[in-house]
Structure formats: structure tokens, C-alpha cells
Amino acid sequence: MKNIKKLPPHGSALAERQKFLNLPFLVVVCVGQDSWNSAKRWNSRGDNCGLVLPSGENPERFTWPVTRCTCVIEWNAGPDSALIINLVRCLLLAGADLVVVWPRFVDYRSPIVAYDDTRQPGDRWVQCRETIRIYRNSIGGSRVSA
């Protein structure tokens, strides 16, 4: 039996808009803690579309209707970076023009990197927190990495 992919929660409205080339300003994919309420807030804000990646779900199980869209992954506490990278790949392969990963759980006042003099020269600057990352769809997401 064929494995039929379904739309993500709140995805049917975006799929309808895609039929008429009526693209939203932003497509926000909410992931992690309070993602359902966050998607509802995004959907109530003018020309945006909020989608949800349900907790514990693999993004590859869904059909993402994001062709020619600018996407933001609103990453709240919960999922690990491997899941987020997989979601970025799925969105780029689905035709998103741009994907921004926005880790909401980060304190942006803290430094991104720290100097560790116990490491080898050239490897002493160590990333100590997540940061906002931007991925452009130039080659279908094949070069996406953490």
C-alpha cells in the first residue's frame, strides 16, 4: 500500500492559496512547545500563514505547500536540531524560496561563541548557543547542515 502524505495542520488554507498564486507574506512553521497556539496567532495576523509540525512527527510525512514562499521555522523548546534541519530540507525540497530558523528559546543577549584555550589552535572558538540561520533554495536543500 502506498504511503500517502498529508498536509500539516493548518496547511489546507495555504494549499488553496497556492492554487491561485495568492502567496502569503510569510509562512511560519511552528515547532515545539505551544506550537498550536502560536500557529493560531500567526494565522490571525493579516497576510501570514501559520503551520504546525506536531510533536513527535517526522516532517517527511507531510506535504508542505510552500512553493515560492518565504518560510520561518519558529523553533520553541522541545525538538532537537536534527529535526529542525530535516524540516528545513523538507521545506526547501517542497520549493520554499527561503527558510529562516528562529530559535525562540535562546537568550540573544548571551554570546554566540566562547573562547576555549584548552582546544587546538584554530578550534578554540566554540559555539555556545543556537543562532538564527537563513537557508536559500539555490539547489533544493542538498547543502543544509547544522
Q: Give per-residue pLDDT as tens, 25-49.
A: 999 999 999 999 999 999 998 899 9
How many Å from the N-terminal Cα to the C-terminal Cα in the chain?
34
Higher pLDDT, 99 or 46: 99
Which residue in this structure is represented by grid cell 498564486?
21
DSSP of 1-23: -----BPPTTHHHHHHHHHTT--
Q: How confident is the model at residue 122 (pLDDT cuts 50, 70, 90)?
A: confident
Q: Does position 141 have pLDDT exceeding 90, yes or no?
A: no
* Mean pLDDT of the region 87-115: 92
pLDDT of residue 145: 53
Q: Which residues contact 4 (CB under 8 A, 6 or more apart)?
A: none
pLDDT above 70 coverage of the chain, percent: 92
